Amino acid sequence: LLEDLTEEGNENLTGKIFEYISSKKAIIASCNENSDIKKLLDKTKVGTLISNENDFEDFINTNLLWDIREINFYSRKIQFEKFLKVLSNV
């Protein structure tokens, strides 16, 4: 996943990252260290930020321990239920 390396891209969360998560695909990202993408990867443990060849080698040699509870929070079903709650309060 390639994204803006400057702070201007920190809030970019593309739909593609959620497609990767729902498909149970490991994610390697090139983005700003303080981005929302990095925070999401850290929270769900589905991937990592790659800044250099050593980071990539570490990623290849690491078994990811995905946090299924955190991943499920971002599922369409859960997000739709949360959306319905918001709408019912309007």
The pLDDT tens digits of the residues spanning 17-41 come to 888 888 888 899 999 999 999 999 9
pLDDT, residue 71, reads: 86
> How wide is the angle at C-alpha 57 spanned by C-alphas 47 and 32, nearest 5°?
50
pLDDT tens digits for 48-79?
Answer: 999 888 998 888 888 777 888 888 888 888 88
pLDDT, residue 33, reads: 92
Residue from 3, 1, 5 nearest 18 by CA: 1
Residue with tokens 């080698």: 57
Contact present, 18 and 74 (Cβ < 8 Å): yes
Mean per-residue pLDDT for 80-88? 93
